[in-house]
Structure 1
């Protein structure tokens, strides 16, 4: 049995629809270097605060969040992030995501040095997952999300989208 050709699939299987969920800005302290480990070069970003805002939810990122990074041999950085969000109405929501940031060596060096870089010059994508309590935001528990990011000197900004 052969796989169907992409152009022969129904329209609903040929594209992905998204809608904006929120814009997330993280304040990140200077990166803490762990260094070369048996698996890869490791570093950690401590996230003391941040904000998120969208049509259906908005609020702040609480202190204690973090971004564990693996700098791989191909020059890409794999992100492993855990955030605690607090909505404007006081609900705590867990948000975790994996991500990849990759680009030409010069572009990544400029990012690491806090220099301005056009976000179109490198790849920076995430896949958030949420854990929300019962109530107003429990719908987040059933959302697949994707995001695209950009690294500013004080931390990243992400446009996060719900996949429909």
Structure 2
């Protein structure tokens, strides 16, 4: 979804009088997930200011934090955290935002997550650790980063 379409969708939700406040918050929160995933910071700020739930979970229990981590949007993660978003929520498959950051090679996000208490040895439902994921992707720099945290 383009930034303009996302903004117009958010605006339409805000102007719908027939929706209950719970419906409105759910819609805003779903849009927040999309905006965080795409890294559209002005829209993230707007949606949070209008009451989007920063800890909203979709059907797979993914949050905006997961979406931002998977795409490497550290600025969005820091903003969400400043607005009381959980930094380490788990999906139905037991994936943390850290797992996503490692999988997609976002070292800056992985470093931030680890520096802020992400569990280094947390396993996904299939038993993978972040070390397993980094190894599977062949990301030597990520493995080195993880190893530095292991030695602490």
TM-score grouping bracket, smaller chain normalisation? under 0.3
Give TM-score scaled by structure 1 length.
0.22
Q: Which has the larger radius of gyration?
A: 1
Higher helix share: 2
- Determine which structure has greater relative contact order: mean sequence separation of CA pairs < 8 Å that are 6+ residues apart, divided by chain length: 1
Higher strand share: 1
Give TM-score scaled by structure 2 length.
0.23
